[in-house]
Amino acid sequence: MKLIEEVEQAVSEFVDQDEATVLIVRSRDEELAPVVHCIHDLDSGSPHVFFLSVAPVGNDLVTYVESVLAALFDEMRGVEESLREDGLPVPPPFPEQCRYRNIEPMIRLRMAFAHLVTAWLPDEEDHLVVALLPSEVRNLQVQAQIVGWLLPQAGFEPWMIRTRLIVRDDKVKPFVVDTARNARSHGVVYFDTHLTAADHVEALLEDANDPELESGQRMSALLQCATVEVSLGRLPQAMEKFVPLYHHYETHGLYQLQGLILLQVAEAFRQVNSPARARNCLLGALDLSTQNSDPSLMLNSAHGLATMAATQGAYQEMESACSIGIGAAMLLGMHDTHVDLLVRLGDARAAQANWVGAVSSWTEGAKVARENDCREMLIQVLGRFHDYASRAGQHEIARQYAAEIQQHRAMGVSR
């Protein structure tokens, strides 16, 4: 998507240029994850760039810097181990002053960066790129101090020439940018992200109305746009797009996309508390999956029907939907989903006082979970048996189930 490409281009151009050392990314909290993802992608494709991406924590400067240094030292320990394993020389350790808490925090940080560049990146083509991107800007003053200290203080220091620092400002309550501008440094560039859900809708609409794109590309953009609008609760706008999309895909025999639209429309109706219409859409998607022998669409449709039936107390329909979904999950080899549907099937039977059928379904669920190492799902099944034994007054058996549940949880933590 072009909005992501804009971020990739901005970061890539910043890394490759030689006139600025700091890139200030102005973004909202919700926009940060894609930015971090873009940086990680660039990391994997740049042999002459050493990336360090950190989400610093702390409301004060000392804690903030400590978290950055800890991440840096941890990263370099891994590099040292790799060098030793390959029989290669290991550069000298970081200066001890970097660890002294009685030294000004930002002096320690600048010292660590300088050592990393000079000792670990001797090739003049190599660059150090450090991304300091907290997921939430809690203390604007601290964030501004960071930028102020990382700007060139008296021209470019030698280590800065090959260092690129990416820091974040809060787009809602900007503060860092003012600090950089007041410093009148030429070593700063700025980039505003446009990655909110509303931004995506606007960009997708542009693609959907672009006459230079092929019909399939325009329809795909329109479908993505409608899907995002459902997530935003903009249901009337989404429905305006879903109707022509459905007819388009029906005309071209693209049943999978028809099914996807029906699932999305069902979600839209669910949001506005219209269960009957949502159910009809799910049944339509299920019919398409049956006509075309599509287990993936069948599974999604059946799962949606089972969930809706459970909220409506329609346990017979829930049973039927779970049974259909179980068959599809088995065909697809989706073990966790298989167990989940067996648990739901047991719940539906238990709600109708069919305890024999419920226990049978849960027993099968436990068997599948054990055979396929579905630990979390096994814990859920064991929880059903624990509750059933407790209800029946079989307290010793209930305690045994509780102990087994605790054992599996402990094993999960130890991993």
In a domain, residue 392? The reply is no
**DSSP letter string, 172-196:** SS--HHHHHHHHT-SSEEEEE---S
Using alpha carbons, select from 172, 119, 178 the residue that is nearest to residue 151: 178
| 4 in Cβ contact with 38 (< 8 Å) | yes
Q: Would you say residue 91 lies in a domain?
A: yes
What tokens were used for 104?
Answer: 């000004």
Question: Under 8 Å CB-to-CB from 157, ≥6 apart: which residues?
Answer: 114
Owner of token pair 């027993």: 363
**Residue 59 confidence (pLDDT):** 72
Rounded CA gap, 142 and 148, in Å? 10
Q: What would the two tokens of residue 151 be?
A: 């700007």
pTM higher than 0.75, yes or no? no
Q: Is 196 helix (H, G, I), strand (E, B) or coil?
A: coil
- Tokens representing 175? 């503060």
Q: Pairing between strand 163-170 and 127-132?
A: parallel
Has residue 5 been placed in a domain? no
For helices 61-85 and 105-115, the axis angle rounded to 10 degrees is 20
169 assigned to some structural domain: yes
Number of domains in the chain: 1
- Domain membership of residue 270 (yes or no) is no
**By C-alpha distance, which of 160, 111, 129 is closest to 52?**
129
**Domain at 53, CATH number:** 3.40.50
Q: Hey, which residues does 282 pair with through a beta bridge?
A: none
Q: Decide if 365 is inside a domain.
A: no
Domain assignment present for 189: yes
- Asked if residue 241 is part of any domain, the answer here is no
Could you read off the pLDDT tens digit of each residue along the chain, which spans 415 residues?
577 778 888 888 888 787 788 888 888 877 777 777 777 776 655 556 788 888 777 778 888 888 889 988 988 888 888 888 888 888 899 999 998 888 988 889 889 988 988 888 877 778 888 888 877 777 777 777 777 777 765 556 777 778 888 888 878 777 766 666 665 666 788 888 887 777 777 788 887 878 888 888 888 888 888 888 888 788 888 888 999 899 999 999 999 999 999 998 998 888 888 999 999 999 999 999 999 999 999 999 999 999 999 999 999 999 999 999 999 999 999 999 999 999 999 999 999 999 999 999 999 999 999 999 999 999 999 999 999 999 989 999 999 999 999 988 887 643 3
| Residue-number span of the structural domain to which 186 is assigned | 15-193
Which residues contact residue 36 at a Cβ distance below 8 angstroms, ignoring those fewer than 6 apart?
A: 53, 55, 131, 133
Would you state the pLDDT for residue 414? 38
